[in-house]
Amino acid sequence: MDLHGRVAIVTGGGTGIGRAVCLRLAKAGAKAVVVNYSRSDKDARVTAAELIVLGQDAIAHKADVSNESEVKAMIAAAIDRYGRLDVLINNAGTTRFIAHADLEALTDDVWDEIFKVNLKGTFYCCRAAAPELRKTGGTIVNIASVAGHLATGSSIVYAVSKAGVLQLTRALAVALAPDVRVNSVSPGLVSTRWLRQFDAGAADSQETATAASTPLNAVATTDHVAQAVMAFVENDMITGQDVVVDGGKNILY
Ligand SMILES: NC(=O)c1ccc[n+]([C@@H]2O[C@H](COP(=O)([O-])OP(=O)(O)OC[C@H]3O[C@@H](n4cnc5c(N)ncnc54)[C@H](OP(=O)(O)O)[C@@H]3O)[C@@H](O)[C@H]2O)c1
Model confidence pLDDT, tens digit, residues 7-54: 999 999 999 999 999 999 999 999 999 999 999 999 999 999 999 999
Q: Which residues of 80-113 are buried (b: 16+ CB within 10 A; e: fewer)?
A: eebebbbbbbbbbbbbbebeeeeeeebeeebeeb
Entry pTM: 0.98
pLDDT: is 116 or 191 the higher one? Answer: 116
DSSP line for 4-16: TT-EEEETTTTSH
**Domain for residue 22, yes or no?**
yes
pLDDT of residue 233: 98
252 found inside a domain: no
Total domains in the chain come to 1
Task: Tell whether 82 is covered by a domain.
Answer: yes
Report the C-alpha gap between 246 and 185 in whole angstroms.
10
- To test ligand 1's pocket by mutation, which of 39, 114, 194 has the most ligand atoms within 8 angstroms of CB? 194
CB of 142 closer than 6 A to ligand 1? no
CB atoms within 10 A of CB 200: 10
What is the reported pLDDT for 68? 98
By CB neighbour count within 10 A (0-12 exposed, 13-18 middle, 19+ buried), where does 212 fall?
A: exposed
In a domain, 62, yes or no: yes
- What is the domain range of residue 155? 7-188+228-241
Identify whether 83 is part of a domain.
Answer: yes
Looking at residue 161, which CATH number applies to its domain? 3.40.50.720
Beta bridge partners of 32: 7, 57
Catalytic positions, please? 158
Q: What is the DSSP letter of 119?
A: I
Dump pLDDT digits (tens) for 57-102. Answer: 999 999 999 999 999 999 999 999 999 999 999 999 999 999 999 9
Is residue 89 in a domain?
Answer: yes
State percent of the chain over pLDDT 70. 100
Say if residues 17 and 41 touch (Cβ distance below 8 Å). no
Q: Does residue 193 form part of some domain?
A: no
Higher-confidence residue of 112 and 198: namely 112
Does residue 93 line the site of ligand 1, with CB under 6 A? Answer: yes
Task: Answer whether 91 contacts ligand 1 (Cβ < 6 A).
Answer: yes
Which long-range contacts does 160-164 make (Cβ < 8 Å, 24+ apart)? 161/114, 161/115, 161/118, 161/119, 162/118, 162/186, 164/115, 164/118, 164/119
